[in-house]
């Protein structure tokens, strides 16, 4: 039996309209039949998954989506369009205002990279401030 290409059956949905990569997180979509929305162009699709395999769609649909993708990015790794309403918020065990914030110091006061960074904060894959041993200062 010929097997389908991963592009036709995986949890990764490449939007046929705008090419944004939508990640259908397995917690929500492992067994799912309904509508979802591309985080890039808001196009609504009917789609079906069974045991993590796409078995239906994506076919154009109308109306509100049942679930949003867990995450999305462009092919050149841009994610800044995924504001509220574009992707599902993460599942939180406690409310976001009770969560730990980012930190750049460990509990004993030394440098640790436990907060968001930007491309200019990096040298290769390593945080610049860790390499240089200097306190973190966000790029202006």
Residues that bind other proteins (CB under 8 A): 3, 6, 10, 21, 23, 26, 51, 71, 73, 75, 77, 79, 90-94, 99-100, 103, 105-108, 110-119, 121-122, 124-127, 130-131
| Closest distance of CB 37 from other proteins, Å | 20
Long-range contacts of 76-85 (CB under 8 A, 24+ apart): 81/39, 81/40, 82/39
Long-range contacts of 3-9 (CB under 8 A, 24+ apart): 8/54, 9/53, 9/54, 9/55
| Closest distance of CB 23 from other proteins, Å | 7
CB nearer to other proteins: give 61 or 117. Answer: 117
| Cβ neighbours, 10 Å, residue 62 | 7
| Closest distance of CB 124 from other proteins, Å | 6
């Amino acid at each position: 039996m010929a097997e389908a290409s991963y592009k036709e059956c995986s949890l990764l949905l490449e939007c046929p309209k705008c090419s944004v990569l939508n990640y259908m997180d397995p917690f929500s979509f492992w067994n799912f039949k309904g509508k979802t929305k591309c985080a890039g162009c808001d196009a609504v699709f009917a789609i079906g998954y069974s045991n993590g395999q796409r078995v239906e769609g994506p076919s154009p649909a109308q109306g509100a989506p049942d679930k949003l993708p867990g995450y999305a990015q462009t092919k050149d790794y841009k994610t800044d369009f995924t504001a509220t309403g574009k992707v599902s918020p993460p599942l939180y065990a406690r409310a976001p205002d009770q969560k730990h914030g980012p930190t750049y110091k460990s509990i004993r006061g030394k440098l640790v990279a436990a907060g968001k960074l930007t491309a200019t904060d990096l040298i290769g894959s390593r945080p610049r401030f860790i390499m240089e041993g200097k306190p973190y200062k966000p790029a202006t």
